[in-house]
Structure 1
Amino acid sequence: MGQAASTVQSVSPEQREVEKEASSLGALPMLRRAFSKLADPETKAVPRENLLQCFNIVYKGQSDASNIPKLFPVLLDHFGSSIVDQFFMPAEGQITWIEFVRGYNRCCTRMSASVSLNMLLRVLRSTVGRANVPINLEFESDDTDCKVNGSLLPSDVLLLLLMCWSMSWDCRSLKHSERKVSLSPPNLNHLVLSAITSCAEIDSGLNVWDGDFSSSEIQIPAGKFVTWVLSTVPCLSDCLSQFFHARLQNQATAGDELAPSNSSVEDVSLTTECDNDILTHGRAWAIGLTQRSTINEEISEVCFPRGKEGMDERLLYRSSAHGKGLNRFWSHVEGYNGPLLILIAASSGQTHEGSSVVTKWVIGALTNQGFENKDLFYGSSGCLYAISPVFHVFPPSGKEKNFVYSHLHPARRVYEPHPKPVGIAFGGTMGNERIFIDEDFARVTVRHHAIDKTYQHGPLLPDQGFLAIEGLISEVEVWGLGGHVAKKVQESYKKREELFTEQRRKVDLKTFASWEDSPENMMMDMMSDPNAVRREDR
């Protein structure tokens, strides 16, 4: 007992405090294992070089890729050192146990999204500064919740997004290390343009349809950029803490060698295989950043698939592969009771200064439930998305609940004095929908947000006026985000429907064994004397 008491007394109040905070996060056992593998047995401290190796990301992609800035590989070379110096602040190149735990708490403790974003911007400034690239970001104090001043260039925003993408990819590759898939960073221009159009004062020289802002000197105020992140892609601020935890978790469970904790980003054919999808890796990641529910985990399988089959099992319908039209669509989504993401790629013509220009765009809608054949609006929640060329999200406004409308032709043709529209719609009211897809999947109509009280206001297309825009549909995709359970339920539903259909086609000949009970005899009797008194109808 005396020895136990002396052991407890040997723990300083500072150590007890940091361990208590780490224990509340459920990370203390993991940190002990990671520290024991990283620390020098003699000094009982972690050398700075070991932590650098733990948090380092090595880029081995094509440096001449059109969507990757030349500065990006250089940025990643300094990323690990920025992480170590930002959170551990090693004294004389050694990190003690208390400093190790405090560094974890500083990055991964429960905090507001604004504080997490503040830390992320500090890491960006430190990393870019180490690469000898100027950036106009200033912090009023060393407090993590202080105000951020200055501004960002579009190129700075792109570097930040690519850095966050790399951290998200790294977490995913470490989680599924048994089937590691390397991906090159995707095209994220739609997110950069979203930040520009939401935060900056745009002159007439920026053409969002072109998407080229590489040489743009547009100033994006830091304060407005923070507001844009928190309102549009709030999960972006979580990328740093998730990466931090995943790297230490991997170190705790890995062998004695430090090499496996290093990750490399490489170009592989899987990236180009998905180029024909509307839901590219970059678009899927952007949509995932807007959701903090289980949908985020499901759509991450599209961003960072463990194989091509991981994407195919979530793709329920694609018009180019399964056929256009509401009936073909319905045969693939019926019975799926889970969140669904529907994407529409279309084009429309615009007349400007006497010349006609055809523009291509992508919009989408996320529903929290499957589609139903109804002649009125239904649903409990959902979001609309402007995806390309500019990304925006429009969550529920809370005023109305006209989330989804999906109506097929009735099975029996009956006279309807006021027939209901046949097609799929989101928001607005009957006959005045915010998004309406016709039954042939040939045209989509996008109306002004003023007619919609279900989803928040905002343009689904750049330069969208008050008049309705009619686009020619080139592709429609539906992705199931309800997990394996929803997929199995749909498969059971389809098997049951196929069984019922097969049973209806069969005729039980035993019931017509005699001529008296045969349908042919009954038809002959009716034709010969239709007014004759007969037995009761059966």
Structure 2
Amino acid sequence: MGASSSTEQVPADQREAETLAASTGALPMLQNAFAKLSDPETKAIPVDSLQQCFTLSFDDPIGEAGTVPSYFPALLNHLGPSIVDLFFLAEKGGVSWIEFLRGYTKCCGRTSASNSFKNLFKVFQLTAVKAGLPEKLQFESDDSDGKVNGSLLPADLLMLLWMCWVMSWDSRNLSSSKGQADNVLPDLNHLVLSAVVSCTDGGADLGVYDSDVTGLDVQLPAGKLQLWALKMIQNLPDCFTQHVHARLRNSVTREDKSETTSSSVHDTPSTTECSTHLLTCGRAWAISLTLRSTVREEILKICFASHVDEKIGNLLYRSSLHGKGLNRFWSNVEGYNGPLLLVIAASSGDAHEGNKDVKRWIIGALTHQGFENKDTFYGTSGCLYALSPVFHVLPSSGKEKNFVYSHLHPTGRVYESHPKPLGVAFGGSIGNERIFVDEDFSKLTVRHHAFDKSYVPGSLFPNQGFLPLEALILEVEAWGLGGTTAKKVQTSYKKREELFTVQRRKVDLKTFANWEDSPEKTMMDMVSDPNSARREDR
């Protein structure tokens, strides 16, 4: 079923459907999936079987940031039927081979970014309607250029993001389910507030530090929301395409056909494990939605780690654990020649005097190479992130290459007439850095984007003005995103440095006790005859 004999004449529509499916690289998998799911008599997949294949079960969800609406599990229960109704045309006996291929191509084939978001909005809209919620989006036409009208509330956007998160998690863990655990939904308020600030006229004046996104009564126009998503989280539709592909692939790998009906989320990290570090599951997932390289896969491993030990394996440095200061930081990141993510939590205002206007925010900087001890800027690319309370990504602009600056105490020099600043910085120029962390890791200076041409303009925290801001550093984390290879190289580097240190500390007692080789004899000989020619033998 689904495989054509070489001696048979293949219809033109079937040949076209197979060619498009083959362009995705999934034709062999689709042939096996069709053979597993189809009825031998009708040579078609029953609609119920295909619906169950894409359905997710998510009972009693727990939210990191608050209560999860009671209708959210119903959304996931209607996900499978919505996907089939939208993309897989069913005939009298079910979904035929040709329609099965066409449906997969609509979901996972190459298409424009705007059309990918349109498909995702369609899935969410139909799922919400099937769950009994009002219809809020309208689609002008079925072509890729058709516009999306209507608007969503911040609570609706949160449900959409959670649905994508569950699909992404499920796609990665279908083959490694180990049992039922707490169903924890990450805190994604920073993403929702980013959309609110970008898509509404008064969003910039919103009190984002204490806002409950589920209670915000503001309309997010679908057109502006799509533009925001294309700029800020362009990989969001991949959650849907990966879900469709992974579910069909899973139907092939499982021997028991009944096991493909629906699955629950398993082995999700507990709430305390997710919120222990600055790089929470929600923040890591948001960063992954901005990347399209191997770094994305590494940060997704942190986001979807089943146990806290898996997550902290990528943690190279944490100021509260390893101690504050540039030297402590350097001893943990030195020798790591791979992508690194630096996450900094800071507070503006004087918290020691009981100032009620103290604001806490988190920023991040991604560099695609290890840190080097230089008194100049270096690097090939990077990104700056506003992570909390509002998410914002600032990629490289391509105008300058002042991506990273990391300078320790100079070695071999006692005096410098014009010493370079000691610390870690990103963007700008020496003395006018976009982000500067001082040597003690106690003070953070953030400047306006006008001083920086390496990263695109944008604010790193809400209501950032033109004047430089000095903030108190609360916590610093450095995460290695270079995979096992970079970690092994760093381990070898540290062992080699330890060996050199031990060798330098060793003293050859025989040589030290020999008068002919002693420094004292050399000095006395020089005093007795300073003009005699000598050769250094050591």
Same-fold status (TM-score > 0.5): yes
Residue 398 in structure 1 maps to residue 403 in structure 2: no
- CA deviation after TM superposition for structure 1 residue 466, in Å: 1.0
The 5 Å alignment of 1:155-304 reads 155-177=155-177, 184-202=184-202, 206-260=206-260, 262-265=262-265, 270-304=270-304
1:387 match: 387
1:17 match: 16
2:54 match: 55
- CA deviation after TM superposition for structure 1 residue 339, in Å: 0.6
In 1, distance between residues paired with 2:489 and 2:304? Answer: 25
Larger CA deviation: 236-245 vs 70-79: 70-79
2:35 match: 36
1:468 match: 468
- CA deviation after TM superposition for structure 1 residue 276, in Å: 1.6
1:118-177 per-residue CA deviation (whole Å, 9 max, x = no partner) reads 100000110111112124211111224311112111111111101100110011111444
AA paired with 2:20? E
Give the conservation status (yes or no) of the 8 Å contact 1:284–1:303.
yes
- CA deviation after TM superposition for structure 1 residue 266, in Å: 5.6
Larger CA deviation: 220-229 vs 198-207: 198-207
Give the conservation status (yes or no) of the 8 Å contact 2:52–2:260.
no
2:111 match: 111
Give the conservation status (yes or no) of the 8 Å contact 2:341–2:479.
yes
In 2, distance between residues paired with 1:22 and 1:204? Answer: 45
1:94 match: 94
In 2, distance between residues paired with 1:327 and 1:64? Answer: 38
1:489-528 per-residue CA deviation (whole Å, 9 max, x = no partner) reads 11111111111111111122343453222345446667x8
The 5 Å alignment of 1:299-318 reads 299-318=299-318
In 1, distance between residues paired with 2:205 and 2:472? Answer: 28
AA paired with 2:282? G
Gaps in structure 1 of 5+ consecutive residues:
none
1:509 match: 509
In 1, distance between residues paired with 2:51 and 2:89? Answer: 12
AA paired with 1:61? D
The verdict on how the C-alpha distance between 1:386 and 1:16 changes in structure 2, with shifts beyond 3 A counting, is same
1:226-257 per-residue CA deviation (whole Å, 9 max, x = no partner) reads 11111111100211111100100111111132
1:364-412 per-residue CA deviation (whole Å, 9 max, x = no partner) reads 1000100000001111100000000000000111111110000001123
- CA deviation after TM superposition for structure 1 residue 41, in Å: 2.3
1:61-117 per-residue CA deviation (whole Å, 9 max, x = no partner) reads 346872523221121121111011111132346111111111111111111211111
Aligned to 2:517, the other structure's residue is in SS state coil
AA paired with 2:16? E
The verdict on how the C-alpha distance between 1:466 and 1:6 changes in structure 2, with shifts beyond 3 A counting, is closer
In 2, distance between residues paired with 1:205 and 1:312? Answer: 37
The verdict on how the C-alpha distance between 1:182 and 1:45 changes in structure 2, with shifts beyond 3 A counting, is farther
In 2, distance between residues paired with 1:94 and 1:255? Answer: 22
1:83 match: 83
- CA deviation after TM superposition for structure 1 residue 413, in Å: 4.5
AA paired with 1:338? G
- CA deviation after TM superposition for structure 1 residue 536, in Å: 3.8
Give the conservation status (yes or no) of the 8 Å contact 1:251–1:261.
no
Give the conservation status (yes or no) of the 8 Å contact 1:181–1:307.
no
Give the conservation status (yes or no) of the 8 Å contact 1:187–1:282.
yes
Larger CA deviation: 59-68 vs 405-414: 59-68
- CA deviation after TM superposition for structure 1 residue 534, in Å: 7.4
1:305-329 per-residue CA deviation (whole Å, 9 max, x = no partner) reads 1433321221111111111100010
CA RMSD of aligned residues (A): 2.4
Give the conservation status (yes or no) of the 8 Å contact 2:204–2:463.
no
1:485 match: 485
Gaps in structure 2 of 5+ consecutive residues:
none
Give the conservation status (yes or no) of the 8 Å contact 1:302–1:311.
yes
In 1, distance between residues paired with 2:256 and 2:100? Answer: 19
AA paired with 2:212? D
In 2, distance between residues paired with 1:258 and 1:483? Answer: 36
Give the conservation status (yes or no) of the 8 Å contact 1:407–1:424.
yes
Aligned to 2:31, the other structure's residue is in SS state helix
Larger CA deviation: 327-336 vs 171-180: 171-180
1:419 match: 419
In 1, distance between residues paired with 2:512 and 2:245? Answer: 73
The verdict on how the C-alpha distance between 1:394 and 1:381 changes in structure 2, with shifts beyond 3 A counting, is same
The verdict on how the C-alpha distance between 1:203 and 1:249 changes in structure 2, with shifts beyond 3 A counting, is closer
1:320 match: 320
- CA deviation after TM superposition for structure 1 residue 481, in Å: 0.6
Residue 343 in structure 1 maps to residue 346 in structure 2: no
1:339-386 per-residue CA deviation (whole Å, 9 max, x = no partner) reads 1000001111189xx974111100010001000000011111000000
1:151 match: 151
In 2, distance between residues paired with 1:441 and 1:64? Answer: 33
AA paired with 1:95? V
AA paired with 1:186? P
In 1, distance between residues paired with 2:263 and 2:150? Answer: 33
Aligned to 1:240, the other structure's residue is in SS state helix
Give the conservation status (yes or no) of the 8 Å contact 1:181–1:306.
no
The 5 Å alignment of 1:126-141 reads 126-141=126-141
1:169-222 per-residue CA deviation (whole Å, 9 max, x = no partner) reads 011111444799875220100000001111112268731011312222211111
The verdict on how the C-alpha distance between 1:5 and 1:52 changes in structure 2, with shifts beyond 3 A counting, is closer
Give the conservation status (yes or no) of the 8 Å contact 1:190–1:391.
yes
- CA deviation after TM superposition for structure 1 residue 455, in Å: 0.4
Larger CA deviation: 318-327 vs 195-204: 195-204
How many residue pairs were aligned? Answer: 531
- CA deviation after TM superposition for structure 1 residue 456, in Å: 0.4
Aligned to 1:214, the other structure's residue is in SS state helix
Aligned to 1:321, the other structure's residue is in SS state helix
Task: Give the % identical residues.
Answer: 59
Aligned to 1:138, the other structure's residue is in SS state strand
AA paired with 1:198? S
The verdict on how the C-alpha distance between 1:246 and 1:207 changes in structure 2, with shifts beyond 3 A counting, is same
In 2, distance between residues paired with 1:203 and 1:368? Answer: 33
